C-alpha cells in the first residue's frame, strides 16, 4: 500500500555511499553487508547519519541493479575502502511512502509508476528509496515505511 503520491522538489544532500552493479538476484546478499560497511566507515570518521539509509538506482534494468547504497551525512565523508562521498540530487520528484515488508516493493513501484503515468508525468531513468522504518524499528513488517522517489522529466 502506498500513500497518495506528491510532486515535490528534493534538495541536494551529502551522502556516504558504496556503488554496486550486481545481478538482481544478489540484492539480498549484498545490501545488508554494504549498509553495515557504510555505517562503520561513517562512525569511524565521527560522522552521524543525517537521515535514513537509502538506495539510489541509476537506471532500471530487470536483470542488473546498478545502484548506490548509503546514508545522508551532514559533512563530507573521506573515502574509506569501498565507501565514497556522494550526493542525493536536487530534482523534481514524484514521492510516496510504501507501508509494508520489502518483498512488496516491486508491486509498490508498479502502483507508483501507474500513478505517475496516469497523472501525465514522465519519469527519468533513476530512482531512490529511503528506508524510513524497517526491521530495526519494529519486528512487524506492517510498521515498516519506505519512501519512494522518482525524478521527473516533465
8 A C-beta contact, residue 41 and residue 81: yes
Q: What are the structural domain ranges in the chain?
A: 6-151
**What is the per-residue pLDDT for 123?**
97
Q: Taking residues 127-141, report their average pLDDT.
A: 94
**For the segment 74-86, what is each residue's pLDDT rounded down to a tens digit?**
999 999 999 999 9
Arithmetic mean of pLDDT, 138-145: 95
**Dihedral, CA of residue 63, residue 66, residue 71 and residue 77, to nearest 10:** 160
Query: Domain 6-151 - what CATH class?
Result: alpha beta
Amino acid at each position: 500500500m502506498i500513500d497518495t503520491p506528491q510532486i515535490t522538489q528534493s534538495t541536494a544532500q551529502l551522502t556516504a555511499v558504496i556503488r554496486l552493479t550486481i545481478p538482481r538476484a544478489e540484492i539480498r546478499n549484498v545490501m545488508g553487508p554494504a549498509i553495515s560497511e557504510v555505517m562503520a566507515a561513517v562512525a569511524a570518521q565521527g560522522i552521524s547519519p543525517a537521515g535514513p539509509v537509502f538506495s539510489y538506482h541509476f537506471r532500471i534494468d530487470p536483470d542488473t541493479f546498478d545502484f548506490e547504497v548509503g546514508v545522508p551525512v551532514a559533512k563530507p565523508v573521506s573515502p574509506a575502502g569501498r565507501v565514497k562521498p556522494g550526493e542525493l540530487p536536487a530534482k523534481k520528484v514524484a514521492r510516496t511512502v510504501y507501508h509494508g515488508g520489502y518483498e512488496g516493493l516491486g508491486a509498490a513501484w508498479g502502483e507508483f509508476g501507474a500513478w505517475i503515468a496516469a497523472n501525465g508525468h514522465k519519469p527519468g531513468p533513476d530512482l531512490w528509496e529511503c528506508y524510513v522504518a524497517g526491521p530495526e524499528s519494529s519486528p512487524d513488517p506492517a510498521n515498516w515505511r519506505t519512501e519512494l522517489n522518482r525524478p521527473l522529466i516533465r
